[in-house]
Every structure is written in structure tokens, then in C-alpha cells.
Amino acid sequence: MDQDRRGQWLRGVLELCVLAALRQRESYGYELAQSLQSAGIGPIKGGTLYPVLLRLQRTGLVSAQWREGTSGPARKYYRLTPAGAQTLRHAAADWRAFATGVDTILQEVTDS
């Protein structure tokens, strides 16, 4: 996959993907990046992920709490807030409608 193209797409959907990943359970940054990569999004660098988490925190869509680690340094855990869950529901519906339109257009390209 073209990395420039992937980067452009990722900028448009990373917030939505982060909110969705936090829907199941709270997580810290590295664990969250691993979860997104396992889901097929690809590798997410800290310099990309942490600004998104900070923006989501500042807008009240996620909350964060520092916790001491059992081994190693403290970690900042992120949790979806009720406002984040509501935003996720609306944004997921919007994404599905948008992606369906894109898929329809691209299907025409691959069918020809």
C-alpha cells in the first residue's frame, strides 16, 4: 500500500478509530497503537497518536488518568466518556454512509 495515501486516509479516520478502540475498554497509548495495528490500520507512531489522544481529551470525548505501573513507569490510561460514546455512534453512522458511497464509486472502477 502506498504510505502517502495511507497517511492521508489515516488523518481522516484516526480519531474515529481511537474512539472505537476505546469503546471496549480503557487503554494506554502503546497498547492502543498495538490494538489499531492488529485491527489492520497499520503502524501508528506516537507522534501521530498522542496528539489525537490529547485533542480527544481536551474536547471531552476521552478522559485520562495516570496509574503507577507494576513494572516500569506510570502509564496514562484513556477511557471513552459518555460524550465520546455518543460522538462515536454518530460518527460511525456517518462513516458507514460515506464509505458506502466510496465503495459504490470504486466498484464501478473495478468492474470495468
pTM of the prediction?
A: 0.88
Identify which of 7-21, 59-73, 76-90, 93-107 has the greatest average pLDDT.
76-90
- Calculate mean pLDDT across residues 71-95: 95
CB 64 within 8 A of CB 57: yes
Alpha-helical regions (H) of the chain = 3-24, 29-38, 46-58, 82-111
Average pLDDT of the chain, as a whole number? 92
Q: Which domains does the chain have, with CATH numbers?
A: 3-111 (1.10.10.10)
Contact 27, 77 (CB under 8 A): yes
Q: pLDDT band for 112, please (50, 70, 90 cuts).
A: low
Encode pLDDT of 28-59 as tens digits: 999 999 999 999 998 999 899 999 999 999 99
Q: What torsion, rounded to 10 degrees, do the Cα atoms 73, 38, 57, 45 define?
A: 70
pLDDT of residue 72: 81
